[in-house]
Amino acid sequence: MSAPERVFIGLGSNLAEPTEQLRQALHGLRQLPATQWAGVSGLYLSDSLLPGQPRYSNAVAALDTTLAPLALLDALQRIENEQGRVRAERWGPRTLDLDILLFGERLLDEPRLRVPHYQLHLRPFVLYPLAELVPGDFTLADGRALSELLRACPFQGLERAGELA
């Protein structure tokens, strides 16, 4: 059996009681096989990237897992589907979005999964919650320092709204 790897999952929702959707997702994450719960950031509210959509509730969860990356992705998509996720339009409103942000020290570029997440550096609603879960000198597997990414991605349109768990 391989050693567990620390994985960070981005959570987002802007439909059907978004904060409750995130709480239900946390319950699902805690039930994943071959996975140990390691923590969750605070709750953040963010403006949608597209005009006309409701605000999002966001958080980042940390897990230690021995699941393979695509097995974890499949498990996350099952949780999304169980919570009513419909993939009708890209970047459309959603009941739940679970993204693998980081997977240990891995760099992945596969048709279904890119790690670190390909838009991580553009998303304050991911970077700021992630910063709550890692040391201040944290460096991503691709060599980028989280502190530099935070400086380049301002906290605008984002509000810390308390604790989720």
Q: Active-site residue numbers?
A: 85, 94, 97, 99
CA distance 141 to 103: 9
CA distance 49 to 91: 8
Longest dimension (CA), the chain: 48
CA distance 160 to 58: 9
Quick one: CA torsion of 112, 125, 120, 48, rounded to 10 degrees? 60
- 64 φ, ψ to 5°? -110, 120
Residue that the structure tokens 């993204």 belong to: 99
CB 162 within 8 A of CB 57: no
